[in-house]
Amino acid sequence: MAQETFVVEEINPKHGFARVRPEAGTGLLHTALYPDPEFTQAPPFQLRKGDRVTGLRRGQTVAEVAWLTRVEPPWEEVERVAELLALLERWEIRIPHEARVLAEHAWRDSKEDPLRDELQAQLPTFFDLEGAHPFEDPTLLDRLSAAMQPYLPGFAIQPVQGQPAVRVEPGAVEVQAGVGSWDVPQPTFAPMIAEVNARLAAAGAPVRWVPTREDWMLAPPALAALLQKHGLLESAALPG
């Protein structure tokens, strides 16, 4: 079967399909909203109205879709991202991607998120989710102690032998663990994070452990608010 050229006429993100029109013909056919990466080297973007693609017609559907040309993201979206990158630079966070590239990822609901990935690489997190589950991470408390030294000199935190608790220095303050689970471990650590954040506030430190969807991130509250405003930091309803 020969490849044909099609133009995307409409998309239906809710149901995961698009309608395309043969460039040399009439009628509408269905295809998947995201072209199969097996047949295209393009990023995992969804189709948008006006894109030109190639594919194989199979009945009323089109398979093996690959882009010929993609419509540009709206200029307002590119400007929004450019302004965000400029604001992040004030916090000494530099993203090695052009605003247009990041805008296209956002506008096309990309299955990749290079902006979020870069932020996570540059801002410290509490868990090491790629390394070990928090309940099995022997370095978790040591990492927390080390991260706090610039803001709380002499800070130390150790487990209390035989109890679901930690001892925080200075002051030998014991903090009981919350009730979490293997699948949702955050509540276990929330009381401890709340204690640490209270100490950061009392010391006038510029940062806090800000709750995200699956973790905490060490960042200035104003930066966290900026990231939340732009949908880059999914907050969680957790203490701390």
Tell me the angle at which helices 75-90 and 221-229 cross, rounded to the nearest 10 degrees: 170
| pLDDT score at 123 | 86
Tell me the angle at which helices 114-122 and 99-107 cross, rounded to the nearest 10 degrees: 120
* Chain segment 177-202, per-residue pLDDT in tens: 999 999 999 999 999 999 999 999 99
Three-state SS for 138-174 is: CCHHHHHHHHHCCCCCCCEEEECCCCCEEEEECCCEE
**Rg of the chain, C-alpha, whole Å:** 24
pLDDT reading at 38 higher than 80: no
* Chain segment 215-235, per-residue pLDDT in tens: 898 999 899 888 888 877 765
User: Which of the four pLDDT bands, split at 50, 70 and 90, describes residue 239?
Assistant: very low
Weakest mean pLDDT among 24-38, 137-151, 225-239: 225-239
Contacts of 185 (CB under 8 A, 6+ apart): 127, 133, 134, 135
Question: What's the CATH fold of domain 4-69?
Answer: OB fold (Dihydrolipoamide Acetyltransferase, E2P) (2.40.50)
pLDDT reading at 120 higher than 70: yes
Q: Where are the domains of the chain?
A: 4-69, 72-121, 123-240
pLDDT reading at 57 higher than 70: yes
pLDDT reading at 42 higher than 60: yes
Can you tell me the mean pLDDT for 209-214?
86
